[in-house]
Amino acid sequence: MATEKQLKYWATLKGKKPNIPSRKGIPSWNKGLHVSTNDNFYKGNDLGKVNKGRKISKEQKKQISLANKGRKLSSHHIKRIIVSNTGKKRSLEFITRISGEGNPMWGKINVAMLGDKNHNWKGGITHINKKIRESFDYEEWRTKVFQRDDYTCQHCGQIGGYLQADHIKPFAFFLELRFDVSNGRTLCLKCHRKTDTWGARVFKSVESVG
C-alpha cells in the first residue's frame, strides 16, 4: 500500500517526460556483429569452460529438465553439436562407465511395458529379425564391436559421431554369425551405404557367394 507522501510525489510526475538523454545518432555497441556460422568457430571454443566443475543441485536439474521438455532443436543448433563432437575421442573410463555393466540401466527391463501391456502393441506382428535387432544380446554385440574398433569407422577412420555396427556376412542369411563379434565392423553411415550388403545389394552379394 502506497503512503500519502508517495501518492503526492507520483501526482507531481504525471504528464512529465523522463529526463533521459537521447541516444539519437549514437550507434549501438553491437551494431554489425553477428554470430559466426563457420564450423571452426565451434571447435575448441571456451564457451563451456565457464561452467566447468560447477555443481548443479537436484532442484536446478529438475528446473532445466522442465524448461527443455518438448523443446525442438533447430538445424543450426544440431549442426553445432555435431561439429563440436566431431573428432572427439572418448576416454576409456568414459566408455567403460556408459557401456555394459557400467551403465545404470544395464540388464534392467520394464516388465510393465512388455508385450500387450505396451501402448504400441499390435497383436504380436513384429518380424523376428526386428525383435532380434532390438534384443539385449544384439545391443551387447553392437557395443563389443564398437569397443573393439575404438569407436572408429574401419573404412574412412571417422572417430565418434553417428556410427553403425555392420555384419560382414549379412545378418539375414548367416544366423549362426549374428552375435559373432569377429563378423562385425564399425562403419559410419556414409561408408556403410557403399558396402555390398547395404539394402537390396545384399541379395546380389549372397548370390555371388553362393
> Where residue 109 falls among pLDDT bands split at 50, 70, 90?
low
How far apart (Å, rounded) are the C-alpha atoms in residues 25 and 154? 60
Partners of residue 184 on adjacent β-strands: 167
Average pLDDT taken over every residue of the chain: 78
3-state secondary structure of 159: strand
The structural domains of the chain, with segments of one domain joined by +, span 126-210
Place of cell 556408459: 98
Most confidently modeled range among 1-5, 96-100, 187-191: 187-191
Residue 166 burial (CB < 10 Å; 0-12/13-18/19+)? buried
Confidence check: pLDDT of 196 > 60: yes
- How large is the average pLDDT for residues 194-198? 86
pLDDT digits (tens, 9 = 90+) for 31-61: 776 655 555 554 555 555 656 677 888 888 8
Question: What percent of the chain clears pLDDT 70, i.e. is strictly above it?
Answer: 72
Question: What percent of the chain clears pLDDT 90, i.e. is strictly above it?
Answer: 20
> Where residue 140 falls among pLDDT bands split at 50, 70, 90?
very high
Distances (CA, A) of 207 to 84, 119, 183, 196, 199: 43, 41, 19, 12, 14
3-state secondary structure of 164: strand
How far apart (Å, rounded) are the C-alpha atoms in residues 49 and 96? 25
> Where residue 74 falls among pLDDT bands split at 50, 70, 90?
confident
- How large is the average pLDDT for residues 4-21? 72
